[in-house]
A and B are shown apart, each in its own frame.
Chain A
Amino acid sequence: AQSVAQPEDQVNVAEGNPLTVKCTYSVSGNPYLFWYVQYPNRGLQFLLKYITGDNLVKGSYGFEAEFNKSQTSFHLKKPSALVSDSALYFCAVRVVYGNKLVFGAGTILRVKS
């Protein structure tokens, strides 16, 4: 079965420092991986996706993610964190059969000034 794991409930980082939010996946076949962000009392916003090709994917708001097939990981990164990046982040994988996304448990990112 397709699944993703986010091993950290919360990540704390100082403003201006690089940030990483971790995600590992388990899929049969080629993975279709996504990152979403959710601000309080809002819907989810799409950040980026990996379908095929270059292992470094660039997305919205300066975020990028690195796909690593050998480690089955898809970590979200940003070179310099902003206080406004503080939010709930979800990694997700597309289920091959059926039009479904399977989400990780989510990681709260707190950026302190």
Chain B
Amino acid sequence: DTEVTQTPKHLVMGMTNKKSLKCEQHMGHRAMYWYKQKAKKPPELMFVYSYEKLSINESVPSRFSPECPNSSLLNLHLHALQPEDSALYLCASSQTGLSYEQYFGPGTRLTVT
């Protein structure tokens, strides 16, 4: 099974709402990632978890809060977002090590109104 699942597929939220994005993988990967992608642009790395610990935060605003409850799950908690945060949010996972490819989920299309 090489599948990364993400829920929900679509999310519309107001600027005062609190919501969460969820990601799950059962490939035994110990590295998990959150990316933000604007239309027809490359994904921008937000966070990296390695062995359930946050290892990289790419200077992401605090209105985005990641969480890794266990080795299979990754959450992204959203609060007080801005309209410019509207994007496709992608989760990925991989084995740790330079030679391993990342497997991406289908993404959550987020619209902030």
Contacts and interface: CB of A to CB of B under 8 A. Distances in A.
Interface of A: 32, 34, 36, 41-46, 49, 51, 88, 90, 94, 96, 98-101, 103-106, 108
Interface string B28-63: 000101000000111101001010000110000000
Contact of A101 (B45, B105, B107): B45
A99 B101 contact: no
A49 B56 CA distance: 23
B98 A106 contact: no
A51 B107 CA distance: 27
B106 A46 contact: no
23 contacts: A32-B98, A41-B107, A42-B106, A42-B107, A43-B90, A43-B104, A44-B92, A44-B104, A46-B101, A46-B102, A46-B103, A90-B42, A94-B98, A96-B98, A99-B31, A99-B48, A100-B45, A103-B42, A104-B42, A105-B41, A105-B42, A106-B40, A108-B40
Contact of B107 (A43, A46, A49, A103): A43
Nearest to A35: B101
Contacts of A41: 88, 107, 109
B96 interface: yes
B84 to A, nearest CB: 20
Nearest to A45: B104
Contacts of A94: 98-99
Contacts of A106: 40-42
B102 A98 contact: no
Given A103-B43, A108-B40, A44 B99 contact: no
Contacts of A51: 99
Nearest to A34: B101
Contacts of A32: 98-99
Contacts of A98: 48, 55-56
